[in-house]
């Protein structure tokens, strides 16, 4: 196997094609048993993933840099190889000679693209001769179907700040089971998570093998903290996979039931329960058609949504999604909220959350829920480390990627805690 990065670059260009040209979700292309990463050693696999993620965060800038040098658009494979090369030069600061030669080799060896190797060489040499090619370019913009409502709601400055965070490689956040062990380079966050600014091999970190923590974005961890499960309580985690919130709930000493419609996704939760020594009752079923044997003290519902709040970690989403499925998602969220309320004891509490930036899946969903269920009470968050400005007038918690921008940002979430009358 090549050790000069050739295999990783070939895999990265192939993955770019899967996302940009075939509309495939990056995680599915990465995990495909016969995919471009399947036979790579771990170091090359990690390099390929880093290359494709970085390139996806800078496609718009790369295309603007390339445009003056291309009289017509080259074949997809060649264009994606050029994009990767531009990003390596502009973002990674790769040595010009090595990057140019590597991309030329990619084009030369491509299926029916060898005749364009001279073009690749000429274009990238011109780019390499430009100091800081991205210096005067704004960060990559969100797709218009998402950007427009966010500008209308929060203003252009906020949206540009979100885009600036999304252009960065996100840090790694960890949630401790109890106390976080010492990890080199780790920084405690105000809300109780721990952050590592640099990418690393997770399984090599102190405390992984002993199950002292799990990987979970700091914003995502706040939903379980908002539910505030207590030892001995019966707690239901709906739409639980891949299970970070289940682990949080189980760590409180609560009796946790985790329900998800996807058996394969629940397999990861089982693995993490084993690693951390925590327990939960796992049920693979459709929550809309499931009936528990007894009611619960509390329910956490992380409902299916557009995932627009996670683009900083999943930069493929702007290229494979649009807003066509949002009405159906909103309807599903509504049905799940109403169903979840029937699982609660009198006086019980529900935390509803979505990893979405859109009001339809957050603030508006809360307003509609209160209109359907006027006896519900919204309990305003009192969590450690949150800014009072993050709390909405209705008592929900709105989290945005530009919050903690100087620390690396956070995923976008909306969440609210609702209580039934006793």
> Where on the phi/psi map is residue 277: left (φ > 0), alpha (ψ -120 to 50), or beta?
left
Residue found by looking up tokens 């509490």 in the block: 349
Q: What whole-number distance in Å separates Cα of residue 159 and Cα of residue 283?
A: 39
**355 has catalytic annotation:** yes
Q: Give Cα 221 to chain centroid, integer Å.
A: 13
390 contacts: CB under 8 Å, gap ≥ 6: 381, 397, 398, 399, 403
Q: What whole-number distance in Å separates Cα of residue 325 and Cα of residue 322?
A: 7
Catalytic residue among 239, 305, 353, 355: 355
Three-class DSSP labels, the chain = CCCCCHHHHHHHHHHHHHHHCCCCCHHHHHHCCCCCCCCCCHHHHHHHHHHHHHHHCCHHHHHHHHHHHCCCCCCHHHHHHHHHHHHHHHCCCCCHHHHHHHHHHHHHHCCCCHHHHHHHHHHHHHHHCCCCCCCCCCCCCCCHHHHHHHHHHHCHHHHHHHHHHHCCCCCEEEEECCCCCCCCCEEECCCCCEEECCCCCHHHCCCCCCCCEEECCHHHHHHHHHHCCCCCCEEEEECCCCCHHHHHHHHCCCEEEEEECCHHHHHHHHHHHHHHCCCCEEEECCHHHCCCCCCEEEEEEECCCCCHHHCCCCCCHHHHCCCCCHHHHHHHHHHHHHHHHHCEEEEEEEEEEECCCCHHHCHHHHHHHHHHCCCCEEECCCCCCCCHHHECCCCCEEECCCCCHHHCCCCCEEEEEEECCC
Q: What whole-number distance in Å separates Cα of residue 293 and Cα of residue 385?
A: 37
- Give the number of other CB atoms < 10 A from CB of residue 135: 8
Q: What residues act catalytically? A: 355
């Amino acid at each position: 196997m090549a050790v000069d990065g050739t295999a990783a670059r070939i895999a990265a260009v192939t993955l770019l094609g899967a996302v940009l040209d075939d509309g495939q979700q990056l995680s599915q292309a990465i995990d495909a048993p016969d995919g471009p990463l399947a036979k790579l050693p771990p170091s090359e696999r990690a390099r390929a993933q880093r290359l494709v993620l970085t390139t996806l965060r800078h496609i718009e800038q790369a295309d603007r840099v390339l445009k003056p040098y291309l009289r017509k658009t080259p074949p997809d494979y060649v264009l994606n190889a050029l994009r990767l090369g531009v990003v390596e030069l502009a973002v990674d600061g790769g040595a010009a000679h090595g990057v140019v030669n590597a991309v030329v080799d990619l084009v030369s060896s491509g299926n029916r693209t060898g005749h364009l190797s001279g073009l690749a060489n000429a274009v990238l040499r011109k780019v390499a001769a430009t100091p800081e090619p991205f210096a005067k370019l704004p960060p990559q913009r969100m797709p218009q179907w998402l950007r427009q409502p966010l500008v209308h709601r929060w203003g252009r400055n906020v949206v540009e700040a979100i885009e600036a965070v999304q252009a960065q490689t996100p840090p790694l956040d960890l949630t401790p089971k109890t106390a976080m062990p010492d990890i080199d380079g780790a920084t405690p966050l105000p809300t109780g998570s721990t952050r590592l600014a640099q990418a690393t091999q997770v399984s090599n970190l102190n405390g992984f093998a002993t199950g002292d923590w799990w990987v979970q974005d700091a914003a995502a961890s706040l939903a379980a903290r908002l539910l505030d499960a207590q030892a001995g309580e019966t707690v239901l985690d709906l739409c639980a996979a891949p299970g970070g919130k289940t682990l949080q709930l189980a760590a409180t000493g609560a009796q946790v039931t985790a329900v998800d419609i996807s058996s394969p996704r629940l397999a990861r939760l089982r693995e993490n329960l084993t690693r951390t020594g925590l327990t939960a009752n796992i049920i693979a079923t459709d929550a809309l058609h499931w009936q528990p044997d007894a009611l619960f003290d509390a329910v956490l519902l992380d409902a299916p949504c557009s995932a627009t709040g996670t683009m900083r970690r999943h930069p493929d989403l702007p290229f494979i999604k649009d807003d066509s499925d949002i009405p159906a998602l909103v309807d599903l969220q509504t049905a799940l909220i109403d169903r979840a309320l029937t699982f609660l004891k009198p006086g019980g509490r529900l935390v509803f959350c979505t990893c979405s930036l859109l009001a339809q899946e957050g603030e508006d969903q809360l307003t509609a829920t209160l209109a359907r269920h006027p006896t519900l009470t919204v309990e305003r968050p009192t969590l450690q480390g949150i800014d009072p400005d993050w709390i909405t007038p209705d008592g929900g918690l709105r989290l945005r990627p530009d919050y903690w921008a100087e620390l690396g940002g956070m995923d976008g979430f909306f969440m609210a805690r609702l209580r039934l009358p006793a």
